[in-house]
Structure 1
Amino acid sequence: MSEPSTKSLTDTAPFPPEEIGGFLRHCAGEWMGLRSQFALAAVSAAAELDTEDGDAWHSSERGELVVSFLEPEAPGGAGGLRVCPKDGVAQQLHFSADGDFRSGDQQGSWQLWPDGSLELTIRSNDTEVRERIWFTKPNLRLRSTVESSADGSPGRASFSSEIRRVSRPTAPVS
């Protein structure tokens, strides 16, 4: 397997990315993010119980990610991503050109929508997780995730806004 590339191709790739390989390459970089998480089932339970802890259903946290592009494993492949939270364990996602992806022992499907967003779907026996990733600007990425049970009722959701770290120009020596 090829070494991961940490260089973003934002200077040469079309924006928004028009194909999966370009989208994955555009994800490479160091990202600072803010994620808000919502336990939607807890909202219903709290409303039914009329509890005083009205804030237990949501939380927010800051985080940092380093994302590297992984070259395709086979000719004609889409490539992949190596995602590593700062001080965390790296996860690799490998995308096939036919709309499937895998990460560890999980498999799912992907779809690149005409609006330039990427939707990932993972289904298991009793849940479905959908994550949508899109760029509003080359260095601003948004992600939303919704987990639903088999009957279609929502369980958890999150929304993240992430800003790509860019290096500062070197000051000229006087």
Structure 2
Amino acid sequence: MNIEEFFELSAGKWFAHRTYTDLISKTSEEGKSELIIKSLPIDHPGVIQVCQKYQFDPKQATCSAKLYWDDITKLNQKKTGSMIIVLIPSTESPLLGKFLHQIPESNVSLHLPGSYKIGEDEALTLYVRVGNTYLEERLWFASPNLRMRVSVAKNAGGVSYTSFTSEIRMSDVTTK
């Protein structure tokens, strides 16, 4: 599977169930959310803006998407948001590349792109550094309608949190 096929398979509306563990405070929580992944054309204004932010030519991008989430924790606190992601393949291998992203509502300013890798097992691994924290997220399909995700955050003190998410496709059609 290449990155384009991974994103084509990811497009749609998903129900996500996440378990999050903070290893520093030794607390866990769970959350449920609706996730919508919609492919964007490379000439979309949001894609162009993300590429310019990271100083990449949008013509280098191989695929892009907008993710919307509506997260309801067990405490009934509603968290919604969106993110645009753009993937630029490496000239050395189509299984490696740069991961560009922008969360419009976030105050976090990222100056360095992340990276991605498609493994022999067809799992997508994303690597991102935010300040002194290194984030790694691995995504794979158990079936076309069941996607899994594992995230780990590391800093100088070691692993600070981890999460596991299962995502079940609700529909192929996005409406946003």
Q: Give TM class, smaller chain.
A: 0.7 to 0.9
| Equivalent AA in structure 2 for residue 94 of structure 1 | V
Q: Deviations over 1:102-146 (max 9, x none)?
A: 112432000011101000000244110000010000000000100
| Equivalent AA in structure 1 for residue 162 of structure 2 | A
Tell me which stretches of 4 or more aligned residues in structure 1 moved more than 4 Å: 73-76
Structure 2 equivalent of residue 112 of structure 1: 118
Unpaired segments ≥5 residues, structure 2: 44-57, 71-78, 91-96, 103-108
My pick for the range that moved more, 115-124 or 84-93, is 84-93
Matched, 1:23 2:6: yes
| Structure 1 CA distance for aligned equivalents of residues 153 and 63 of structure 2 | 26
Structure 2 equivalent of residue 97 of structure 1: 89
How many residues are matched?
136
Q: Deviations over 1:48-97 (max 9, x none)?
A: xxxxxxxxx10001110111112335556321121001372221011101
Unpaired segments ≥5 residues, structure 1: 1-17, 44-56, 168-174
RMSD value over aligned CA atoms?
Answer: 1.7
Identity level (%): 26
| Equivalent AA in structure 2 for residue 64 of structure 1 | E
* Pairing partner for 2:80 from 68, 77, 88: 88
TM-score, with normalisation over the residues of structure 1? 0.72
Secondary structure of the residue aligned to 1:42 is coil
TM-score, with normalisation over the residues of structure 2? 0.71
My pick for the range that moved more, 73-82 or 110-119, is 73-82
| Equivalent AA in structure 1 for residue 84 of structure 2 | Q
Q: Which has the higher strand share?
A: 2
- Residues 166, 89 of structure 1: CA spacing in aligned structure 2 closer, same or farther, 3 A cutoff? closer
Is contact 2:61–2:86 with CA below 8 Å preserved after alignment? Answer: no
* Pairing partner for 2:153 from 132, 140, 147: 147
